[in-house]
Amino acid sequence: MINLLPPATRQQFIAGRVNALLIRYIWIVLALFALLALLSGLTAFMLENVKQSIQNEISSNNTNAASLQEVQVRADTFRTNLEVAKSILDQQTHYSETILKISSLMTPGTAISSLSLDQTTYGTPVTLQISAKSEQAAVMLKQSFQESTLFSDVHFQSISIGSGTETGNADYPVNAQLIVTINKAGA
């Protein structure tokens, strides 16, 4: 095909096509910018709704927390009172439990003639009056006391062997004074 158009007209046609192409590209870019603006606006709107929802939930939780403040104060007061009661009960001495522990340590053929317990007897040396059927039974009682955690520093002050008439019991002729220290932790 022979091009019969003058060169100036041909350049005008080419420039017209380039201009049409540029205008098309400009409209595409403007449409993309509009779409981007629409998406940004929609995202901002969604974020604002989420923010408002979270703010409402925070204010609701703050209202609930304020109403629960009284419960928290009562719980703290109860916890403090419970700790005070526990410390008092931890310091309390149960003499019956101590007597039961001592009786469980008694060996056959021995008896305690006298035992006096009070708050001052714990941690200080106490003299126990012991009656036994034999000297061996008294020694076994001493060993039983030494091996327990209830007593420390266990030793005889005196041992006497008689007929048992002094104490009124002929079955237990051995009389002994056993000095022991009662441990409060063991009791």
Q: Residues 16-55: pLDDT tens digits?
A: 999 999 999 999 999 999 999 999 999 999 999 999 999 9
Checking if the pLDDT of 122 tops 80, the result is no
Residue 125, classed as helix, strand or coil, is strand
Q: Residues 18-28: pLDDT tens digits?
A: 999 999 999 99
Tell me how far the alpha carbon of residue 36 is from its chain's centroid: 56
Cα distances (Å, whole numbers) of residue 23 to 18, 36, 59, 185: 9, 20, 53, 98
Per cent of the chain over pLDDT 90 is 27
Residue 187: Cβ within 10 Å count: 19
Residue 38: Cβ within 10 Å count: 10
Res 130: pLDDT? 85
| CB contact at 8 A, 105 and 166 | no
CB proximity list for 114: less than 8 A, separation 6 or greater: 128, 129
Q: Residues 128-175: pLDDT tens digits?
A: 888 888 888 888 888 887 888 887 888 888 888 876 555 556 677 888
Q: If pLDDT is split at 50, 70 and 90, which confidence band does 58 have?
A: very high
Quote the tokens at residue 184.
């409060």
This prediction's pTM: 0.48
Among left, alpha and beta (phi > 0; psi -120 to 50; other), residue 137 is alpha
- Widest Cα–Cα separation across the chain: 160
Quote the tokens at residue 99.
């007597």
The C-alpha R_g of the chain, in whole angstroms, comes to 50
Res 164: pLDDT? 52
Res 84: pLDDT? 87
